[in-house]
Structures are given as structure tokens and as C-alpha cells.
Amino acid sequence: DAGVTQSPTHLIKTRGQQVTLRCSPKSGHDTVSWYQQALGQGPQFIFQYYEEEERQRGNFPDRFSGHQFPNYSSELNVNALLLGDSALYLCASNQGGIYGYTFGSGTRLTVV
């Protein structure tokens, strides 16, 4: 049973560019959340998607946007990249109101 899969695993972008990260949730899960983990910090909540709608958003600027598709997979888009956007981006999925979030291995984004 595949868990949460994320692609790509690593990415290098230039300041000002745009990036799209992808996530496929664990089988049976319908809710996808995205987190940003900066070096030496804990993961920080970006937003959650359920039924193709953004259900809740954390304290991140509008440069961060997302989408959920009918098959429950999700994308995270970041526009106008800043050096400070360099981080590990984690996708987590869960089923409805069950709080056992399953995390993917993440995408390491480096902005130069």
C-alpha cells in the first residue's frame, strides 16, 4: 500500500521564479495538507484541501496557492520565489476527521 508520494524530491529554482510541487495522498485518504519545514524548525501549516476546496489556511502570503483534483491529489504553487522559501515542503493526508496524518518524504526546495 503506497503511502503519500511527493514529487519532485529535490528542486533548485532562481529567485522570482515559480514552482509547482505535487502530492498523491495515501490510498483511502481524501484530505491533503501542506507544511513548510525550514531548517531547524518544526513543520508549519500552509493550507488544507478537502473536496477540492481550501478548507483552512495558515499564515502564508498569497504567493502560496494550491489545488486539489477529483482523485484527491494536490499541487502546491509558489510564485515570485524568495530566498526564504528554501525549505522542505511536506504533504500530509488523512481520512475525514481521523487525525492520524500520514506524511510524505517531502520536496526539498532550494531558491538561489
Partner 1 sequence: DQQVKQNSPSLSVQEGRISILNCDYTNSMFDYFLWYKKYPAEGPTFLISISSIKDKNEDGRFTVFLNKSAKHLSLHIVPSQPGDSAVYFCAALNQAGTALIFGKGTTLSVSS
- Give me the residues that bind partner 1 (CB under 8 A), please: 4, 33, 35, 40-45, 48, 55-56, 58, 90, 92, 97, 99-106
Q: CA 93 to CA 12: how far, in whole Å?
A: 25
Sign of CA dihedral 39, 44, 50, 55: negative
Nearer to partner 1, 16 or 61 (CB): 61
Nearer to partner 1, 83 or 99 (CB): 99
Q: What minimum distance in Å lies between the beta carbon of 15 and partner 1?
A: 26
Q: What minimum distance in Å lies between the beta carbon of 22 and partner 1?
A: 15
Kindly state the cell numbers that stand for 10.
529535490
Nearer to partner 1, 14 or 39 (CB): 39
**Quick check: helix, strand or coil at residue 98?**
coil
State the amino acid at position 82 in one-letter form.
L
